[in-house]
Amino acid sequence: MLRRLDLRDTVPSAADVRRLLPRAAVDVDVAVDAVRPICEDVRTRGDAAVLDAAARFDGVRPASLRVPRAALAAAAEALDPAVRDALVEAIRRSRVVHRAQLREPVTIEVGPGLTVTERWVPVERVGLYVPGGRVAYPSSVVMNVVPAQEAGVGSLAVFSPPQRDNDGLPHPVVLGACALLGIDEVYAAGGAQAVAMAAYGTESCRGVDVITGPGNVYVTAAKRLVRGVVGVDAEAGPTEVAILADATADPTFVAADLIAQAEHDPMAACLLVTSSVELADAVDIELGKQVPATRHRERVEESLAGQGAVAIVADVDAGLAVVDGWAAEHLEIHTADAGAVAARVRHAGAVFVGPHAPVPLGDYLAGSNHVLPTGGTARHSSGLAVATFQRQVHVVESTRDALRAVAPRLAALAGAEDLTAHSDAVEARFR
């Protein structure tokens, strides 16, 4: 069922891996051209432009962009008890992990009388995007809101598309999750228009400093367009999983995990890298059994046919080179001594170790964040975290004697750069 690549005779470079192994083609640059007029319209016309875009793209014009507090309270009250319980536990676990990421100020004594203190200061206001197209993602509310709250952000606004089946409000479970987290500023806005609304501000919504959260290619393009006006997190494209496995892996588990990722999106990428041809054969057999029985069979089949593959490698070391080159959003390790293998991974958004840590655990209840870099950007970007919502500030303190001690060297460097007023500003203190 999966396209097979035999890489046993070579260890491809990272560039070769990116060329050979499948990912959906997503041209963000083309999408930027498509969303530019939408974003400009929102910048100039504000709420009216957002409402017009909702009618055009979502098929509904909300009665108001800001969700009434009564609707949030009603959504929380209407949550299925099992869903409420799961959300409460997901929030608790996420707080445990993200609270541990907080950094205390550190003061470094550079020399006698001279210190540099490193402080982490939360941004003032953030916009958190929660998708709502093919399915609703209340878990993404948790993943966006909790690290921002733990970072100390004082003002949070959530944006999620209006639903025709919910009177122009975002999905009720998304609203319920917001209420459980104490978020009362929620906007029925999705797509590029929501990103522009957050970045530029409108009559009903004050502009933000940072925008985070996954979305489709148009959301990603809009985030790229407003980068610089506001800070944004890593660009999130179609979801993906890589599974590094050897002969000890259970093919039932591997097949189930590939299907779970393919269920997200027909453009999802699903890669198995294994040193065992027997395992690859067994996984194909399992896919043949499991795919027909899965609820979203058509979506899964499209994903696996389009962006599914098995790479056969000589050994686990060669497999590590392949998965590092691909730099997956999610990487599962199904090998002997999986912990030691996982410790050698350099490029992945998140790593899941062993047969009982599947990606869905991270999606919901591991406490880790599931907003992760895709499309190979895990080579240089990280997942959403407390640090996303904070700025590093250096505070410099110096005594008179400490300044005098460095004055000659400062003057030498200022002279080399022909910035003599720099050294004059220091000398003025000793005349």
Q: What is the pLDDT of residue 134?
A: 63
Residue 329 annotated to the active site: yes
Pick the catalytic residue: 98, 264, 296, 330?
330
Q: What are the tens digits of pLDDT across the range 83-99?
A: 999 999 999 999 999 99
In whole angstroms, what is the distance from residue 79 CA to residue 226 CA? 35
In sequence order, what are the beta bridge partners of 121?
Answer: 391
User: Is residue 431 over pLDDT 90?
Assistant: no
pLDDT grade for 21, boundaries at 50, 70 and 90: confident
CB 114 within 8 A of CB 402: yes
In whole angstroms, what is the distance from residue 275 CA to residue 281 CA? 12
pLDDT grade for 372, boundaries at 50, 70 and 90: very high
Least confident of 20-29, 81-90, 196-205, 331-340: 20-29
The SS3 call for residue 323 is helix
CB 150 within 8 A of CB 99: yes
Rounded average pLDDT over 417-430: 96
Q: What is the pLDDT of residue 38?
A: 97
CB 148 within 8 A of CB 156: yes
Burial grade of 417 (CB within 10 A; 0-12, 13-18, 19 or more): exposed
Two structure tokens written together for 221:
């393009």
In sequence order, what are the beta bridge partners of 125?
Answer: 155
Q: What is the pLDDT of residue 19?
A: 81
User: Is residue 362 over pLDDT 80?
Assistant: yes
Q: What is the pLDDT of residue 346?
A: 96
Rounded average pLDDT over 54-70: 96
Counting residues of the chain whose pLDDT is more than 70, the rounded percentage is 99
Q: What is the pLDDT of residue 237?
A: 78
Query: Which one, of 227, 232, 235, 234, lies nearest residue 39 by Cα?
Result: 227
Rounded average pLDDT over 161-174: 94
Residue with tokens 């990103």: 195
pLDDT grade for 10, boundaries at 50, 70 and 90: confident
Pick the catalytic residue: 185, 263, 301, 329?
329
pLDDT grade for 355, boundaries at 50, 70 and 90: very high
Rounded average pLDDT over 247-256: 98
CB 239 within 8 A of CB 261: yes
CB 182 within 8 A of CB 80: no
User: Is residue 390 over pLDDT 90?
Assistant: yes
Mean pLDDT of the chain: 95
Q: What are the tens digits of pLDDT across the range 296-316?
A: 999 999 999 999 999 999 999
In whole angstroms, what is the distance from residue 416 CA to residue 425 CA? 16
Host H or E run for residue 198:
helix 191-200
In whole angstroms, what is the distance from residue 408 CA to residue 358 CA? 60
User: Is residue 22 over pLDDT 80?
Assistant: no
In whole angstroms, what is the distance from residue 179 CA to residue 73 CA? 6
Least confident of 98-112, 231-245, 398-412: 231-245
Instruction: State the alpha helices, DSSP H only, in 26-160.
Output: 28-45, 47-53, 69-77, 81-99, 138-151
Strand pairing category for 350-353 and 269-274? unpaired
Rounded average pLDDT over 395-405: 98
In whole angstroms, what is the distance from residue 286 CA to residue 289 CA? 5
Residue 98 annotated to the active site: no
pLDDT grade for 133, boundaries at 50, 70 and 90: low
b/e map 249-275, b = 16+ CB within 10 Å:
bebebbbbbbbbbbbbbbbbbbbbbbb
Rounded average pLDDT over 162-190: 96
What Rg do the C-alpha atoms of the chain give, in angstroms? 25
